[in-house]
Amino acid sequence: QVQLQQSGPGLVKPSQTLSLTCAISGDSVSDKSGAWNWIRQSPSRGLEWLGRTYYRSKWYNDYALSVKSRITINPDTSKNQFSLQLNSVTPEDTAVYFCAKTQWGKNWFDPWGQGTLVTISS
Amino acid sequence: EIVLTQSPDFQSVTPKEKVTITCRASQNIGNNLHWYQQKPDQSPKVLIKYASQSFSGVPSRFSGSGSGTDFTLTINSLEAEDAAMYYCHQSNSLPWTFGQGTKVEI
């Protein structure tokens, strides 16, 4: 049974970098059929897919256009986890952030991490 | 980007009532449409995959239908525990997108 456990700070100052980690158990971040996603949820934007990383003989990333210039999603094979970095944050980036898995050919999100409320405020 | 529009935004119902939520896509997405339930302070959970396929462990009162641009989630004989937000999600093309959600209140 795959489980995802998120960690990271709940408060980030404007213009700084938001960093979250999603630890994987019961699966491998290098699994060639999986993809590892970040999604956020806010009252103003609803559920918004931010991007994903996946391994198919080499590592690939896809990012939403809305954050493409500011986002990095990286795998960490030594710790079997993946991370989200969002640069130059503003109060509009305040949201609950989730990590979630999809599988190739089965592109629904399951499972999800527990969610992390990140507030952007000085 | 594919836009998903759900209706209604809010529905107040009584137990044992039938609930129908629709999701309309801005372009043809085949059957690449999934439904989720989210309760307060929880992560979303899959109810229906590929428009009409029940997800493992989901009660049989939840069903889905549709293809192309118009989709429906039906909850037969609603139970109190079904009070939640419901979202559709398309996986036809990146970026993956979600509907704005429908709140079902008992």
User: pLDDT for A62-86, tens place per residue?
Assistant: 999 999 999 999 999 999 999 999 9
Strands B102-105 and B10-12: parallel
Beta bridge partners of A83: A21, A74
User: Which amino acid is present at A57?
Assistant: S
Strands B19-25 and B10-12: unpaired
User: pLDDT for B48-88, tens place per residue?
Assistant: 999 999 999 999 999 999 999 999 999 999 999 999 999 99
pLDDT number for residue A90: 97
pLDDT-based confidence at B22, cuts 50/70/90? very high
Q: What are phi and psi of B82, to 5 degrees?
A: -85, 0
CB B59 within 8 A of CB B10: no
User: pLDDT for A10-48, tens place per residue?
Assistant: 999 999 999 999 999 999 999 999 999 999 999 999 999
Spacing of C-alpha B20 from chain mean position: 9
Instruction: Record the tokens describing residue B42, joined without a space.
Output: 């929880």
Q: What are phi and psi of A92, to 5 degrees?
A: -65, -15
Distance from the B92 Cα atom to the nearest Cα atom in chain A, whole angstroms: 9
User: pLDDT for B24-39, tens place per residue?
Assistant: 999 999 999 999 999 9
CB A100 within 8 A of CB A111: yes
Q: Hey, are the CB atoms on B95 and A49 less than 8 Å from each other?
A: yes
Q: Report the alpha-carbon distance of residue B29 to residue A3 in Å, rounded.
A: 29
Q: Report the alpha-carbon distance of residue A57 to residue B93 in Å, rounded.
A: 22
Q: Hey, are the CB atoms on A108 and B95 less than 8 Å from each other?
A: no
Burial class (CB in 10 A: 0-12, 13-18, 19+), A121: exposed
Q: Which of A45, A110, A116 should we substitute to test contact with B (largest number of B Cβ atoms within 10 Å)? A: A110
pLDDT number for residue A97: 98
Q: Hey, are the CB atoms on B43 and A115 less than 8 Å from each other?
A: yes
Q: What are phi and psi of B98, to 5 degrees?
A: -120, 155
User: pLDDT for A104-113, tens place per residue?
Assistant: 888 999 999 9
Count of Cβ atoms closer than 10 Å to residue B64 Cβ = 24
pLDDT number for residue B19: 96
Q: Hey, are the CB atoms on A108 and B44 less than 8 Å from each other?
A: no
pLDDT number for residue A105: 86
Length in residues, chain B: 106
Distance from the A50 Cα atom to the nearest Cα atom in chain B, whole angstroms: 8
Q: Report the alpha-carbon distance of residue B104 to residue B106 in Å, rounded.
A: 7
Q: Hey, are the CB atoms on B96 and A107 less than 8 Å from each other?
A: yes
Q: What is the mean pLDDT of chain A?
A: 96
Beta bridge partners of B5: B24
Count of Cβ atoms closer than 10 Å to residue B51 Cβ = 22
Pick B91's closest partner by Cβ from A48, A108, A111.
Answer: A108
